[in-house]
Structure 1
C-alpha cells in the first residue's frame, strides 16, 4: 500500500473540497448544454448562475461582473492582451515578481513595458511606481498597471491600497492577479480602484480547469474569445457547469470557513521548528505581512533539486516555487528580484498549507527536514 502523502503544496494546487466534488458530480449526471432551453439545459444554466452569485458575494461585486474562464492564466491574458488591444493603453507597468502568466501576456501585447522593482523584503517599490505614474501623467500617457495581490512563492501581501491611492482619479488601468489572495485575504472588488481581477478555482479547493475574470466597465471590451456570446459576450465557448459549480462551492467555503488564524499558526510552527533544526535557514519575506499560508525558505548549501527528491522519497510534497514551469526546478525570478544571491536562491523551497492541513503535517515536515539536514551535514563533514 502506498503511504499517504503529507501534502504541503497548496499554493500550487489545493486538494478538491468534498462539497465541491459532490457539486461537480451532480452536474456531470446531467446531459446537455447550458445554453439550451430544455429542462436539462435550464438545470445546468441554474447551476452556473448560482455559482456566479457565490463568486460575486465572495469577491465583493455584483454577478454581472463575473466572467468564467478556463483558468486564472486565461483571465489574466484576457485582461492584459484584450485590454491592451481594445483600450487606449500607451504602455504597461508590471511587478518584477509577477507570475509568468502575467509576464508572457505582457510580452504578447507588443506594448512597451517596464517592471516595478521589488525590494529585498518582497514588497514592490512604490516610490518608483509613483514616479512612473507622475511621468505618465505629464506625458499624457495611459498606463496599464498589473500587480499581484499575494506573491505565489513568498506569500507576501502587496500594498494594493497604497497603489490605488497613487492612481487616485487618473485614467490608468489597474489589473490585479488575485489567484493566491482570493479567499485568503479580505478584499472587496467594487469599492476598490481595481479595474479587473483574475482568480483561480484550484487554488481554493475547486477543480483545475476553471477560473474567473472580474471586470468593471472600463474593461468590458477586453475580449479574446468572442465565440457564441456566452458569458455576456465577454468569453465565448460552452461553459462547464460541473467545473463552475465546484468553483462556486469552493468560493463560498473560502468566504465562510477559511481559518486564516489556524493556517498562520501552522506556518509559525513550521518556521519555529525549522529555525530550531537549522538556525542558519533563511525565511523570505518574514519581516512583512504575508497571508500565513506559505513559507519560502532556504537552507544554505542544501540545493532544492536534491531536497525535493529527498522530501518526495519521504512522501512529503513541497515545491521549489511556482509550479508552472513544466515540472522543472529552476531559479526563482521572484527571489532574484528581491536581490537574493544565486547560491541561496538555488536552495529555496516553498511549503504551503490550506483547508485540510494539520499540525501533524507540519510535524512530519520537521521530522523529515531534521533527517535531511543531518544527512547533509554528515556528508559535508565527511568531505571536509
Structure 2
C-alpha cells in the first residue's frame, strides 16, 4: 500500500475529472471520422479536448496534433522534421530525455550534444557557436531541448535559446513534458516551431500526448495513415484517452496550485539538510521548478534506500522511469559532472496535484530511519 506517492514526474495519479471523461467516452460507439450521429458526438469530444489542450498550451486548436505519447511527439518532431526540412545536423542538450537522443539517433544524421554546467544549465555559448558554424557552412540544424529536466527539475533558459534559434532558418523543438501545466508555454506567440507535451504527467491517462505544430511545419509527419489529425498523424483517434487529456488540462492547473508544491519542495529540502549536513541537492545552483527535488546522501546507495522506502509505502524514484523499471546510472547527473559513486545515491522526489504536507512528513520520517541505520552500520564498521 502506498502511504505517500512522490513520483509525479514519472506519472501523476489520474484526476477524477479525467477518469469520468474516459468512462463517458468509452460508452459511445463509433469512429470520430464517421458522419453519423455517434461519430459526430465522438468528433465533438475530440474537438473539445483539442480546445482544452490548446488553451493550456497557449496555442491555437489547429496547432494541436494528438499522439500516443510525448515520446512519439518528439520522434515526429525530430525524425519527421529532419526529413521535411532537409536537416543536416541534430543539436540537443546532454541532459535531455532519452526520447530525444534516441530520435536524434534514428535520423542517422550527425549530432552535436550541448554540454551543461555543474548545476545542469545548458551552455548557451556552445549553442551560439554551433549556430554560427552552421551558418558559415550552410548546414541546417534542428535544435531540441527539454525546458524542464525530468530528473533534477532544472529549468533551461528558454527565452535565450529562442532568441538565438527562433529568428534563424534553423528548427527549434522543445520537450515541455515536465513544464506543461506548471509553466506558461504560450506556444502561438513563441519563436518555437514544435513543442511536445504529455497527458499522464498532469493527471490524464497514459497513452496520450500531443505535438504543438506551427503552420509551416504542417508537412512534418511520422504516421501518414488515413489523414486523421489534419493529415499530420494517421490512425483512428483514441477518443477516450483524448477526452481524459482534455479534462485533465482543464482541471490540472487549479489542482496543482492548491497542492502548493513549491512549499512542499522547500519543506522537504529543509528537512533533509537538517538531518544531514552532507546532503547534496542536485541542480541547487540553477533555476528549478518547485515540484522536483533530486538529492543524495553520500554513502547511501539508492538501491538500498529505495527498497527501505518502498517497504514504508513511500513511492519515489532514482531518476527517469523510462528505463524498463531498472535503477540505472543517470546520464543527467553524469553530464553535470557528478561522480558515479554519488550518482548511485541519487533519489528523486516529485510532487503534483495529489501531494500534501503529510506526504513530506511521512517521507522525512521514513528517510530518517534509513539514515539512522546507515549511521549505525557505519559506526559499527568503524
Length-normalised TM-score, structure 1: 0.98
1:349 to 337, 347, 350: 347
Q: Distance in 2 between matches of 1:166 and 1:320?
A: 34
Residue pairs, 1:280-299, within 5 angstroms: 280-299=278-297
The count of aligned residue pairs is 382
Residue pairs, 1:124-203, within 5 angstroms: 124-203=122-201
Tell me the SS of whatever aligns to 1:258: helix
Are the counterparts in 2 of residues 9 and 318 from structure 1 also a CA contact under 8 Å? yes
Deviations 1:9-64 (A, max 9, x none): 00000000001100111001111111111111111110000000011111111111
Deviations 1:211-234 (A, max 9, x none): 000001232111111111100000
2:315 to 314, 317, 329: 317
Deviations 1:286-343 (A, max 9, x none): 1221110110000101001111111101000010100000011111000000011111
Q: Distance in 2 between matches of 1:204 and 1:127?
A: 33
Structure 1: stretches of 5+ with no match in the other structure: none
Deviations 1:242-275 (A, max 9, x none): 1001101111223454318811000000000011
Tell me the SS of whatever aligns to 2:295: strand
Q: Which residue of the partner structure matches residue 33 of structure 1?
A: 31
Alpha-carbon distance change, 236 to 229 in structure 1, aligned in 2, over 3 angstroms: same
Q: Distance in 1 between matches of 2:314 and 2:253?
A: 29
Are the counterparts in 1 of residues 294 and 347 from structure 2 also a CA contact under 8 Å? yes
Are the counterparts in 1 of residues 280 and 296 from structure 2 also a CA contact under 8 Å? yes
Q: Which residue of the partner structure matches residue 53 of structure 2?
A: 55
1:216 to 207, 214, 217: 214
Task: Give 1:140 deviation, angstroms.
Answer: 1.6
1:367 to 341, 365, 368: 365
Are the counterparts in 2 of residues 33 and 41 from structure 1 also a CA contact under 8 Å? yes
Tell me the SS of whatever aligns to 2:260: helix
Deviations 1:318-373 (A, max 9, x none): 10100000011111000000011111001001000000100000000000010000
Alpha-carbon distance change, 168 to 31 in structure 1, aligned in 2, over 3 angstroms: closer
Q: Distance in 2 between matches of 1:52 and 1:195?
A: 18
Are the counterparts in 2 of residues 7 and 361 from structure 1 also a CA contact under 8 Å? yes
Worse-superposed segment, 164-173 or 47-56: 164-173
1:339 to 318, 337, 340: 337
Tell me the SS of whatever aligns to 1:44: helix
Q: Distance in 2 between matches of 1:57 and 1:154?
A: 27
Deviations 1:197-216 (A, max 9, x none): 00000000001000000001
Deviations 1:153-195 (A, max 9, x none): 0011110100011125210000000011111111200111110
Q: Which residue of the partner structure matches residue 11 of structure 1?
A: 9
Q: Distance in 2 between matches of 1:168 and 1:17?
A: 35
Tell me the SS of whatever aligns to 2:177: coil
Tell me the SS of whatever aligns to 2:294: strand
Q: Distance in 1 between matches of 2:189 and 2:166?
A: 13
Are the counterparts in 2 of residues 184 and 254 from structure 1 also a CA contact under 8 Å? no
Are the counterparts in 1 of residues 259 and 354 from structure 2 also a CA contact under 8 Å? no
Q: Which residue of the partner structure matches residue 67 of structure 1?
A: 65
Tell me the SS of whatever aligns to 1:381: helix
Are the counterparts in 1 of residues 3 and 359 from structure 2 also a CA contact under 8 Å? no
Worse-superposed segment, 247-256 or 130-139: 247-256
Q: Distance in 1 between matches of 2:323 and 2:33?
A: 36
Q: Distance in 1 between matches of 2:166 and 2:93?
A: 19
Tell me the SS of whatever aligns to 1:285: coil
Q: Structure 1: which 4+ aligned runs deviate by more than 4 Å?
A: none
Length-normalised TM-score, structure 2: 0.98
Q: Distance in 2 between matches of 1:41 and 1:286?
A: 51
Structure 2: stretches of 5+ with no match in the other structure: none
